[in-house]
Structure 1
Amino acid sequence: MRDTLTSRFFFFISSIITLSLLFLAAFFFLPGWNTSEKEVQQEKIVVHRGASLRSIIATIADKEVVRNERPLLITAWLFPELRQIKPGRYTIPPGLSNYGLLSYLHHHPQDEERVLIPEGLREERIAGIIASQLDIDSLSFMNSSRDKALLEELGIEAGSFEGYYFPGTYNFPWASTSQEVIRFLVGRFRAFYTDSLRTLATKRGFDELELLTLASIVEAETPLDEEKPLIAGVYLNRLKKNMKLQADPTVQYALGRKPGRLLYKDLTVDSPYNTYKYKGLPPAPICSPGALSILAVLEPAETEYIYFVATGNGGHYFAKTAAEHAKNVRKYRASRR
């Protein structure tokens, strides 16, 4: 009799233990156990920098990915390694278990954004593009652009990273910091600026900053790739002759103005970027030049032109003498009328 009771007792206990283990297995690991019935597709959630685990789980519940927050909190408490979730934008597949959901967020790469940085943009425009597509505030980006420690770290001898945001289309983690984006873009320029190109720049008498400065002026002057070597040739000729560059885009930059028509009074602005007032190159780039503008400065057209003016339809008239230039200016004014 005693043996029978003992057997029943152990059977009862083992059944309770088995059922408990099955419940715990379902609680933690059964797919779909805590998933909302609404969840039939992938759902996107955003994890901002500094977000607490509780706020992340609340966001998951708000998106109706799960029915209840508490099972996720208990799972995170029992599996502390899953509490570390990086900031980012995550696409969550449907039907995950509590453990599987937290494990997915812990291990899964965050979503990336494809960001296009066109040639010829100033840094405030680039900051706007970055802020619109990544979890970065444009003011934070501009502050990082002027961060002296970061400039020194990357070997930039200027007051900002203007000109160093190498144009192109890149994939960035959505939660990138402004410093990470800047380091990456400067790295893309440095990867492009090979030793052979550096040697060409030295032969031209330019250091890295001077090269980018002249290339940025060329970039701002013409949208036509075939004209860039000619524009570069004109400016190099003017530098050799100790003439002022008289580049309109540098004055527009000094005025903080978008590209457009300048008035005579604008040309008197007292700024080191006013190349109508001061000889030589301005102190730093006025935009971020693309590869073709940089190469145009390194391998310019062999020309005797020292003047150019817009044609009115996107291109330019070029001239060797002041008299020829005056005729071209009249043609340009006639085209505007």
Structure 2
Amino acid sequence: MPSPSNLRSHLLRTVILILAAAAGVILFLPGLNTAPESTRLQIHRGTPFSTIVRDLETNGAITVRWPLKVIGRLVPSLHNIKPGRYLIPPGLSNIGLLQYLHRHDQDEVRVTIPEGLDISATAAIISRHLDIDSTSFAREATKRKLEGYLFPGTYNFPWASTPGEAQEFLLRQFHRFFSDSLRSVAEGKGLDENALLTLASIVEAETPLDEEKPLVASVYLNRLRKNMPLQADPTIQYAIPGPRRRLYYKDLRTDSPYNTYLHRGLPPGPICSPGAQSILAVLNPAETSYLYFVATGKGGHNFSTTLSAHNRNIRRYRANRDRR
């Protein structure tokens, strides 16, 4: 007959085996605590592990939280879950679910940044597509003086990008475009990077038509050579706080270094992010003697060399506007 100590030892081993088997079931049995269908989850940057587990329960990915909390205590490395958007496969085991979240690569989002947007408008687009607050993006980009450098285009961004990561990506796109050969052309024309982008941003804001951009660039370059004020309406728009609106004559007296009616030469910096065609137009402008241009009212512009011809074009524009 077994001694009492042997019975206790046997009972203890039995209990340990039962607990080990139960733990193995809890850890590794597929579908025990997880949903039988796919579920979605968004994890924002900096979300604590406990909150992630709670959200998994809230969205139906798991039935109860405690098995994941136990696993998290036993395997602390599984706390390291990347921010992102997840489509969680059905029927995972508890440990399989945490391993999936731990190993999952960040998903990417395709985002188009149109030409001619300032920092605020770019921030609004970024925040609509990525896990980024527009105010934080705009504040950081303004502090870094990135107006004009957030190069337009269509790109893939990780959804969980930080403002700094998104800005660095767009900045790299500009430097990739602005090659050494283009930099040499700009330097040959006496334009540093800031001056080039500033003038290109005005061209971008004046016309969406690529075929017109070399003509618009020629007007402003001609005015600069003659020491005439640029008198570019988009710079007034930039100087006035708030969303774009119709300009009035009183706006031309706005006290701002960006007011190119009051101050000769280029404003301090870009007023938006110019696209490739506007930059190339400044580097390769049309050879003209134009000093003025005005909208036709039909999508393009009429260009002129003299003020009298310009005034005739203005009257023609107003007549077209009135007929509409």
Q: Same fold by TM (over 0.5)? A: yes
Q: Residue type of the partner of 2:268?
A: P
In structure 2, C-alpha distance between the alignment counterparts of 1:143 and 1:258, rounded to whole Å: 17
The answer to whether 1:217 aligns with 2:202 is yes
The answer to whether 1:27 aligns with 2:12 is no
SS at match of 2:91: coil
In structure 1, C-alpha distance between the alignment counterparts of 2:157 and 2:192, rounded to whole Å: 30
Q: How does 1:165-244 map to 2 (within 5 A)?
A: 165-244=150-229
Q: Residue type of the partner of 1:311?
A: T
Larger deviation: 321-330 or 283-292? Answer: 321-330
SS at match of 2:86: strand
In structure 2, C-alpha distance between the alignment counterparts of 1:18 and 1:47, rounded to whole Å: 37
SS at match of 1:317: strand
Equivalence for 2:52: 56
- Residue 49 (structure 1) shift: 2.4
Equivalence for 1:275: 260
- Residue 20 (structure 1) shift: 4.6
Equivalenced residue count is 319
Cα distance per residue 1:56-77 (max 9 Å; x no partner): 1000010111111111111111
- Residue 19 (structure 1) shift: 5.2
Q: How does 1:87-102 map to 2 (within 5 A)?
A: 87-102=83-98
* Counterpart contact for 2:200–2:279, Cα < 8 Å: yes
Larger deviation: 208-217 or 179-188? Answer: 179-188
* Counterpart contact for 1:91–1:111, Cα < 8 Å: no
Q: How does 1:1-337 map to 2 (within 5 A)?
A: 20-36=19-35, 39-41=36-38, 43-147=39-143, 151=144, 160-256=145-241, 258-337=243-322
- Residue 175 (structure 1) shift: 1.8
* Counterpart contact for 1:166–1:288, Cα < 8 Å: yes
Equivalence for 1:155: none
Equivalence for 1:154: none
- Give ranges in structure 1 of 5+ residues lacking alignment: 152-159
- Residue 51 (structure 1) shift: 1.6
The TM-score with structure 2 as length reference comes to 0.92
* Counterpart contact for 1:111–1:173, Cα < 8 Å: yes
Aligned-residue Cα RMSD (Å) equals 2.1
- Residue 261 (structure 1) shift: 3.6
In structure 1, C-alpha distance between the alignment counterparts of 2:269 and 2:98, rounded to whole Å: 48
In structure 1, C-alpha distance between the alignment counterparts of 2:193 and 2:136, rounded to whole Å: 26
Q: Residue type of the partner of 1:228?
A: K
CA 1:288/1:196 → structure 2, altered by over 3 Å: closer, same or farther? Answer: same
In structure 2, C-alpha distance between the alignment counterparts of 1:69 and 1:261, rounded to whole Å: 57
- Residue 224 (structure 1) shift: 0.7
* Counterpart contact for 2:119–2:142, Cα < 8 Å: no
* Counterpart contact for 1:272–1:278, Cα < 8 Å: yes
Q: Residue type of the partner of 2:262?
A: K
- Residue 217 (structure 1) shift: 0.3
The TM-score with structure 1 as length reference comes to 0.88
- Give ranges in structure 2 of 5+ residues lacking alignment: none
